[in-house]
Chain A
């Protein structure tokens, strides 16, 4: 099973600043990687697929990069609604998720 490791577990950033979240795969997943945002009590929402393609309706301040085993989600100029938990997921070989990064207000 491909293990996904996200860092940091918690990230404290001020509104208006940039947030950078990392995700590492235990083996190459090529570009078969997605990022999701989850707010308390809600379902995850797809932000990015194929490592760098924004899903429909996702603001341009969200961007994804990377391939192989190292991936990054960048949120430029954080808005209040962006403080949530973020998960990466690989879909190259079955589906496995990272443990999540909690983005909190500094």
Chain B
């Protein structure tokens, strides 16, 4: 089967760094994506890892290790507006399979 596991909730304070992990049990996928969803909003694309290694986009970085079936999203210099749910997703056969989501709460 295919499954992606994430921690259900993570808390941190403004200015801190937080890492959201994603472990998966699937094969033959194209890459690992991350999406952000604020309460009441729609998922929005954050980053994509086609290859192993680190991808950096501003304050956000994403990492993939296919050999370890593992990836993570790293958020630096946390801001209150980063409070949201974060989903990892693997691409397979033209579709995305989403993880369970991690709710990040940033405190002042």
Q: Does chain A bind chain B? A: no
